[in-house]
Chain A
Amino acid sequence: MNLLAVGCSHRTAPVAVRERLAFRDDQLPRALEALTTRLDCEAVILSTCNRVELYVGRVLDHPTRAAAPLDGETVVAFLAEFHGVAVEEIRPHLYVRQQADAVRHLFRVAASLDSLIVGEGQIAGQVKRAYELGQKCDAPGPMLHALFPHARRVAKRVRTETGIARGHVSVSSAAVDYVRQVFDHFGDKTVLVIGAGKMGELTLRHLRRMEPRRIFVANRSPEKALAVAKGCGGEAVPWDRLDEMLARADIVLSTTGAPEPVVTLERYRRIAAQRVGGPLVILDIAVPRDFDPRIHDGDRTCLFNIDDLKRIQEATLSDRRRHVGPAEAVVEQETQRFLKEWRRRRNGPVIERLTQDLESKREEVVRNLFARLNGRLTDEDRRFIEYAFVKLQNQFLHGPISALTEDQPADAAGHTLLDALRKLFRLRE
């Protein structure tokens, strides 16, 4: 197996370098074709905002027509040439992983152990898409066809067997966790959005997934209120009806840019007196805050501000970090499993030929022996002799087969144990 992973990530390269090396969707087919043709290899290119990686491989006993050897330098040279940058410029930011390290690296990437936010779910999908795009371009070969589906299984196993993906890490999704502590169903709930901040938009997207009955949008600017309402399928309400809407709402998402609190304690007391429904959850993600924090009582009014939401985020990340160890153990286990399976797969035909060859020779020898000793052997003698030869054959094969299933690095000239066995036993292709 000759497998390489060459690339850069958020850990090794600043965004300025990453964006120069990134492959746009329309560039990928051309890049894959150029790479596979020039290096006579199989390839998959993973290009996301946080990493650019080229996975290239060549089966060792595959006769190559490429002039250049398949190593890190040739892949780096290809990357530099494709993007029109100097090799020296990008070389310090690149890493090259080979053989088992390359397998391990892909599994870690797919399992989101190498991500900016450990445990995030996007990368597994991105790895899958990279492989699918490669398939469309006919770029992966037997090695990558085995490797990438295995990487997907590793990612799934890590997610289900460890808590690495548990909890919400974005402030906007963490808000939903608090809301769910208060409400159970949302089909009869009214959401009021105050303001039109960017963060509010993201949080509103999460709230909308819960399918509330109605969404009202209040903003000092009627135009902005209309725009936000249109975007979320809500209804714009005039700013002077804010108190009335607060009395009707079940969930409030506040994200104005007001320098002073919009709802003071006194104002809220007047609003609360008008409320007839259940509890009110206020997600105040504005800075400075829109609601007086004293209105929070944990019973009829639950107010959560940006600091509370960040606490969830930090707790989730810290919780995920505890699961990195077990997740790494799964990756290591799967790396060894993949390598073992790959060796078995590659060596299977050779072992089969070797066994068949020896078996036919044994049968011939035994047949000749029985012919010479015809009439002088009892049935029991014949069985014993047959058994002895089979045992000898198995003992003879045990050494070479065991050696093949173990790791077998190629020598300086690229020869492997498999080549040696073929020559020693004169096994035909």
Chain B
Amino acid sequence: MYGVTLVCFTTSYAAALGLELWRQFRPRMVYYFLGVGFGVAGLLTQSLYLAVKRPVGWMVILAWVLAVFYLYGSIHHRRLAWGVFVLPVVLGLLGLSALFGPGFDQLTLADYNRFWGLLHAGLLLLAAVGVCVGFCASLMYLFRAGQLRAKTLPGKGLSLPSLERLEQMNRRAIDWAFPLLTAGVVIGLFLMLQQPMADWTDPRVLGAGVLWLAFLVLLVLRYGWNLRGRAVALLTIAAFLLLVLSLILPHPTGGPQ
């Protein structure tokens, strides 16, 4: 319907990223506006895709939320190289969605037509958004820390938020993501218990468990051991990779395998 495919908005986001990168070398406002224009076009097309396409992929929804995050950041922080860090994640998620063939991560609403099923999916999706935001903040943090380590002159190189703000962004994303992830996993366990032939060794179940444990370790280190800065950023990146892994794995309760 409407002829909207994954390629349409992926191309728009790629163009926005290209312009954002180009703007770093040739700082002109025209590139900024063009980039945001492509971003808006991509988001509108993707929204249309999500509205008409059934079934819908997890990663496509996640990419849509991150695209909103990209546009919000780009409009509110014009001078910052926001898109350079967020758009590759959006494109990566869309790429994975396409790479693993149609339907590997499909969120089949038919399977989730019950309240608890939808709540489980929604909570995990929001937790995943938090992890993705934390991942982007961590990448930016590491880049900013690298600039400071090398004592790059202020105003030279990529323009990024302060170290403090990036750490805060990462912390908030994780603080929000963990309770949502916990609630989503608990509901998932509850749903599994109701299945007569539940497979507890299913890779996706194990993946979700490992992701939850990784988050727990991250929070214990963060608040218990007062771990900060680069170490927390690296752990957040590891948590994001686990998230991607668990999303790639097939779902045990249904959906195309």
Contact = CB atoms under 8 A, between A and B. Distances in A.
B167 to A, nearest CB: 7
Interface in A258-315: 276, 278-279, 296-300, 302, 304, 308, 311-312, 315
A296 B229 contact: no
B149 interface: yes
B155 A279 contact: no
Contacts of B155: 167, 177
Contact of A298 (B150, B156, B164, B228): B150
A181 B167 contact: no
A155 B152 CA distance: 31
Contacts of B153: 311-312, 315
Interface in B19-78: none
Contacts of A181: 144, 147-148, 154, 162-163
A129 interface: no
Contact of B154 (A184, A278, A312): A312
Contacts of A298: 145-151
Contacts of B151: 296, 298, 304, 308, 311
Contacts of A297: 149
Given A298-B149, A299-B149, A182 B154 contact: no
Interface in B133-179: 144-151, 153-156, 161-165, 167-168
A184 B161 contact: yes
B212 to A, nearest CB: 27
B79 interface: no
Nearest to A307: B151
B230 to A, nearest CB: 5
B195 interface: no
A184 B165 contact: yes
Contacts, number: 60
Contacts of B161: 184
A184 B164 CA distance: 6
A415 interface: no
Interface residues of B, number: 23
A425 interface: no
B226 interface: yes
A120 to B, nearest CB: 18
B145 A184 contact: no
Given A167-B155, A278-B228, A299-B230, A182 B164 contact: yes
Given A278-B228, A296-B149, A298-B145, A183 B154 contact: no
B149 A183 contact: no
Contacts of A279: 163-164, 229
A82 interface: no
Contacts of B163: 181-183, 279, 299, 302
Nearest to B150: A298
A338 interface: no
A299 B155 CA distance: 19
Contacts of B150: 298
Given A167-B155, A279-B229, A304-B151, A180 B162 contact: yes
A416 to B, nearest CB: 47
A357 B229 CA distance: 83
A276 B222 CA distance: 11
A182 B162 contact: yes
A158 B153 CA distance: 25
Contacts of A167: 155
A342 interface: no
Interface in A17-64: none
A178 interface: yes
B144 to A, nearest CB: 7
Nearest to A303: B151
A183 B229 contact: no
Contact of A177 (B147, B154, B164, B226): B154
Given A299-B229, A300-B228, A300-B229, A278 B164 contact: yes
A178 B154 contact: yes
Contacts of B228: 278, 300
B137 to A, nearest CB: 13
Contacts of B165: 184
Interface string A152-187: 000000000000000100000000011011111100
Given A182-B164, A183-B162, A278-B228, 9 more contacts: A167-B155, A177-B154, A182-B148, A183-B163, A279-B163, A296-B151, A298-B147, A298-B148, A299-B229
Interface of B: 144-151, 153-156, 161-165, 167-168, 226, 228-230
27 contacts: A177-B154, A177-B155, A178-B154, A181-B154, A181-B162, A182-B148, A182-B163, A183-B162, A184-B161, A184-B165, A278-B167, A278-B228, A279-B229, A296-B151, A297-B149, A298-B149, A298-B150, A298-B151, A299-B148, A299-B163, A299-B230, A300-B229, A302-B148, A308-B151, A312-B153, A312-B154, A315-B156
